[in-house]
Chains A and B, each alone.
Chain A
Amino acid sequence: MSLTPTNGRKPFRFVEPSALPGFGAAFGFTLVYLSFFVLIPLAALALKPWESGWGLFVDIVTRPRTLAALRLSFGAALIAALVNAVFGTIAAWVLVRYDFPGRRLLDAFVDLPFALPTAVAGIALAAIYAPNGVVGSLFAPFHISIAYTPLGVMIALIFVGFPFIVRSVQPVLEDLEVEIEEAAATLGASRWRTITQVVAPVILPALLAGFSLSFARAVGEYGSVIFIAGNIPMVSEIAPLLIVIQLEEFDYAGAAAVGLIMLTLSFVMLLILNLLQGRIARRGRR
């Protein structure tokens, strides 16, 4: 390497010089570890479905049972995220803006779905919403079933997705400067108008970010859903369960095909939500 860079450009260096030792070892270990646990396993997922040819992949993915499972997983995740968007935003507002006894406890409690193992939540939800459960028995006389229907799947996904919305919106509300609302009030805006036209646009990008996280989590959710869902093919069978069933039959290509299509669809959805979020954030700044 020559000492004087040509064209005034900095010569390419993989790593900037530093007084500290250990880059090689730390970086090498990081890369090996990530390859072993993330890169190679995901490569297997991306390549396995094609080992038996295109035709089989298309066949598995377009089976009515697969389509029904994908529709349920994505549809229920979307509705659950919408429900949580409403109540999660209200909860974030209440936790940031109002002082009342037990507020701190309530705040800590928001994270319960993160902390509680999904299987534990799953059997509890199944017990509550089964026809003889605390809530299920209230609806049973009207011939409304919650457990073992898509409605049950939605309830489980509402449980797991709640914290994402609250934890995304809350910091933005906390950082919102009081002067903005004071200015709006001084200029004669009603409180309602201030909230809908001044506060709402500021929290919208965070709300969308929380929506994406909650949605992504719900699409792949397994443990909290399978007990309450009843897993009836074409009715209440979610996509991750389909993977488990195919693996039990040692149909690796089939399982990988469903996994790959699930992952691809959720990345596309997340990409769209990300773009939307970027656009709203830019419009908000203008």
Chain B
Amino acid sequence: MSRDSPARRDPPWFAALLIAVTLLYMAAILLLPLITVFAEALRKGLDAYAQAFADPDAQAAIRLTLGVAAISVLLNTVFGLAAAWAIAKFEFWGKSAVMTLIDLPFSISPVISGLVFVLLYGINGWFGPWLDANNIQIIFTFTGIVLATTLVTLPFVARELIPLMQEQGADEEAAAATLGAGGWRTFFLVTIPNVKWALMYGVLLCTARAMGEFGAVAVVSGHIRGETATMPLYVEILYNEYSFSAAFAVASLLALFALVTLAVKTLLEMRFAEELSIQRWR
């Protein structure tokens, strides 16, 4: 809410109308799909719901999703910290080009983010014949899924850290260095504590996206149930087999993750507003 003033007071009927329009629009566009997920998941009762998760393929999908997300988020966190250290603490030539490159994955269609790895490592790709000759498979395997997921979620941590670390400058680190602290010590005892909430926020958004990614993963995964089907892909497989209740049951778990993420995100934003550059999330 911004500051009130008589000049800002709209006629009550006007305010009521706009609030009603917003509520109706958001109910129809956002709330209805969310309710539908849970309603369809529970339509055949709790037993059927539990049954969907008793399936070994469902459990394999959950494990795969968690595994892929863990690796991708770890990679992008290390990358985010390194990139932010270089960009925020030093002045160098070509900095804005590097920042543009970091942002680029957000403007690429998820399907294209998967496609590019097929063009490199697929059977007809640039490195395909060589990989094939050496018996290495990337596309349609766990590795391919990790690659695509990592590309899609690459900017999250870096984008969150760079503006905050730029604003904080390098004075505190320089002081630590002058007092004799080594590079790593300075990094872990000065830099990290200064950015911990922003780091957490970036990791949260990155994790949520990594677990829910569909388009990029759909292209590089072989869609093999129990092996290369992540949760979103498993939802697709079940849906296409007309196992609607099971599809919505698995979907409801993803929706639950999304709601928890949204809640934690909102709490972080309320509590640490000045430290976070509230991101546009994609």
Please report the C-alpha to C-alpha distance between residue A115 and residue B125 in the assembled complex, in whole angstroms.
33
A213 touches B174 (CB 8 A): no
Looking at the complex, which one of A111, A159, A186 makes contact with B281 (CB distance below 8 Å)?
Answer: A111
Q: B181 → chain A, closest Cβ, in Å?
A: 10
CB of B224 closer than 8 Å to a CB of A: no
Q: Please, which residue of chain B has its CB at the minimum distance from the CB of A49?
A: B119
Give every chain B residue within 8 A of A137 (Cβ-Cβ).
none
Q: Does B98 belong to the interface (CB within 8 Å)?
A: yes
List which B193-236 residues lie within 8 A (CB) of chain A.
208, 211-215, 218-219, 231-233, 235-236
Cα-based distance from A119 to B247 in the complex (angstroms)? 10
A112 close to B258 (CB less than 8 A): yes
Are A41's CB and B18's CB within 8 A?
A: no
Q: Is A37 an interface residue (CB 8 A)?
A: yes
* Per-residue A-contact encoding for B9-24, CB less than 8 Å = 1, 0 else: 0110001001101110
Q: How far is the CB of B19 from chain A (nearest CB, A)?
A: 5
Decide yes or no whether B130 CB sits under 8 A from chain A. Answer: no
In residues 218-263 of chain A, which contact B (Cβ within 8 Å)? 219-223, 227, 240-241, 243-244, 247, 250, 252, 255-256, 259, 262-263
The answer to whether A124 has its CB under 8 Å from any CB of chain B is yes
CB distance from B41 to the nearest CB of A (A): 10
B218: chain A residues within 8 A (beta carbon): 222-223, 244
Interface residues of A in 34-52 (CB under 8 A from B): 34, 37-42, 44-45, 48
- Beta-carbon nearest neighbor of B211 in chain A: A117
B239 contacts A227, CB within 8 Å? yes
Q: Give bound CA distance, A174 to B1, whole Å.
A: 7
A136-179, CB < 8 A from B? 158-159, 162-164, 167-168, 173-174, 176, 178
> A56: CB under 8 A from chain B?
no
**CB <8 Å contact, B18 and A162:** no
- CB contacts (< 8 Å) of A29 on chain B: these are 79, 82
Which listed residue (B32, B150, B254) contacts A120, Cβ 8 A?
Answer: B254
Look across to chain B and name the residue whose beta carbon is closest to the beta carbon of A225. B215
Count A-B pairs with CB separation below 8 Å: 313
| Residues in chain B near residue A256, CB distance under 8 A | 115, 119
Residues of chain A within 8 A (CB-CB) of B254 are: 116-117, 119-120
List, in ascending order, chain B residues with CB within 8 A of A243's CB. 111-112, 115, 219
Q: Which of A16, A19, A37, A115 contacts B91 (CB 8 A)?
A: A16
Q: How far is the CB of B35 from chain A (nearest CB, A)?
A: 9
Could you tell me if B120 and A41 are in contact, using CB atoms closer than 8 angstroms? yes
A119 pairs with B93, CB closer than 8 A: no
Contacts of B120 on A, CB cut-off 8 Å? 40-41, 44
Residues on A with C-beta less than 8 A from B215 are 118, 220-223, 240
A227 to B261, CA, bound (A): 25
Could you say which of A44, A135, A174 contacts B119, with CB atoms under 8 Å apart? A44
State A120–B255 Cα separation when bound (angstroms). 7
B50 interface residue (CB < 8 Å to A): no
| A112 & B30 in contact (Cβ 8 Å cutoff) | yes
Q: Across the interface, do A22 and B280 meet the contact criterion of CB distance under 8 Å?
A: no
Chain B contact patch, size range: 35 or more
Chain B CB count within 10 A is highest, among A37, A90, A241, A263, for A37
The yes or no answer to A23 lying at the interface (CB within 8 A) is yes
Q: Are A20 and B177 in contact (CB under 8 A)?
A: yes
Task: Name the 10 nearest CB pairs between A and B, nearest first.
Answer: A220-B109, A117-B212, A41-B116, A222-B215, A223-B214, A114-B281, A124-B33, A240-B111, A21-B183, A115-B258
Between A and B, 29 residue pairs with Cβ closer than 8 Å are A12-B93, A15-B90, A26-B82, A26-B83, A27-B90, A30-B79, A30-B83, A37-B150, A87-B25, A94-B19, A96-B2, A97-B10, A100-B19, A113-B30, A116-B212, A117-B211, A117-B254, A120-B37, A120-B235, A124-B34, A124-B251, A158-B29, A164-B280, A173-B2, A184-B7, A185-B6, A240-B109, A252-B122, A255-B118
With A19-B174, A22-B187 given, name 7 new contacts (CB 8 A): A34-B98, A45-B119, A87-B21, A118-B110, A119-B212, A119-B235, A127-B40
Q: Residues of A with Cβ closer than 8 Å to B?
A: 12-16, 18-23, 25-27, 29-31, 33-34, 37-42, 44-45, 48, 87, 90-91, 93-100, 103, 106, 108-125, 127-128, 134-135, 158-159, 162-164, 167-168, 173-174, 176, 178, 181-182, 184-186, 191, 194, 213, 216-217, 219-223, 227, 240-241, 243-244, 247, 250, 252, 255-256, 259, 262-263, 266-267, 270
Task: Identify the B interface with A (CB < 8 A).
Answer: 1-3, 5-8, 10-11, 15, 18-19, 21-23, 25-26, 29-34, 36-37, 40, 79, 82-83, 85-87, 89-93, 98, 101-102, 104-105, 107-112, 115-120, 122-126, 147, 150-151, 154, 170, 173-174, 177-178, 182-183, 186-187, 208, 211-215, 218-219, 231-233, 235-236, 239, 244, 247-248, 251, 254-255, 258-259, 261-263, 265-266, 278, 280-282
